Amino acid sequence: MRTFKGSLHLITDTELLEQLREGSQQAFRQLYDRHSRQVAAFVYHLTHSAVDAEDILQETFLKLWTNREQLPAIVHPGNYIFIIARNKTLDHLRKISQQQRLVDHIWANISGVADALELQLDARESQALINQALSQLTEQQKNIFRLSRQEGLDHATIAAQLGLSRSRVKNVLVETLRFIRQYLAQHSVLLVLLLNYAGII
């Protein structure tokens, strides 16, 4: 393994990347020290969340370390790190947007039922509870639940889209609905009843 020669600040990012390919943790730490603050600021600008910015920052450098042996020839390592962060951020924002559309769909269904039955339901609190429940799900559970309840697809179509068996889709959906019911029941029995009445859970 190559070692650092001379002062650390004289070593270029390209040289650090070469040493990173060989497994140098010191090179990795130096790249992190050089770029982490700017990457975090960049991600925060896109997400407006310090927590998300920190998570995505860690995911970015984790990917850099995990894939170190397969890194291509990179002219500007700093730009490459920012591209990883950008892609991670866009994936994160897509997931948030998708989940919010699902929450909006659910709320549109149950708010109509609540109005018809003349029941009082706090919109902000109810949507927050639904969001919290969905946030506890795995990506597979979210996808199956969304395709079933928002898109209205049957088990066979969902299975074909996700490359799963129909029995797997059915089992995951049953587990997901049970979890959502149990989670929401701890906070609002009325919300559970309305979701059940609307055919959501």
* pLDDT higher than threshold 80 for residue 157: yes
Nearest CA among 185, 199, 186 for reference residue 113: 199
d(CA 61, CA 85): 9
Which of the pair, 46 or 167, is modelled with greater confidence?
Answer: 167
Name 11's Cβ contacts closer than 8 Å, sequence gap at least 6: 4, 30
Nearest CA among 58, 7, 59 for reference residue 30: 7
d(CA 121, CA 79): 49
- As a whole number, mean pLDDT of residues 73-84 equals 87
Nearest CA among 89, 96, 10 for reference residue 81: 89
* pLDDT higher than threshold 60 for residue 97: yes
Confidence of residue 90 (pLDDT cuts 50, 70, 90): confident
| 15 close to 61: Cβ distance less than 8 angstroms | no
Is residue 123 classed exposed, middle or buried when 0-12, 13-18 and 19+ CB atoms within 10 A define those classes?
exposed
Count of alpha carbons within 13 angstroms of residue 60, beta-carbon side: 32
d(CA 169, CA 167): 5
Q: State the amino acid at position 25 in one-letter form.
A: Q
Say what the pLDDT of residue 118 is: 42
**Which residue ranges form the domains of the chain, and what is each CATH number?**
8-92 (1.10.1740.10), 120-197 (1.10.10.10)
| pLDDT tens digits, one per residue of 109-151 | 666 555 544 444 555 676 777 878 888 889 899 999 889 887 8
* pLDDT higher than threshold 80 for residue 49: yes
Whole-number mean pLDDT of the chain? 81
Is residue 16 classed exposed, middle or buried when 0-12, 13-18 and 19+ CB atoms within 10 A define those classes?
buried
- As a whole number, mean pLDDT of residues 96-114 equals 67
Can you read off the two tokens belonging to residue 176? Answer: 């997901």
* pTM to 2 decimal places: 0.52
- As a whole number, mean pLDDT of residues 63-90 equals 88
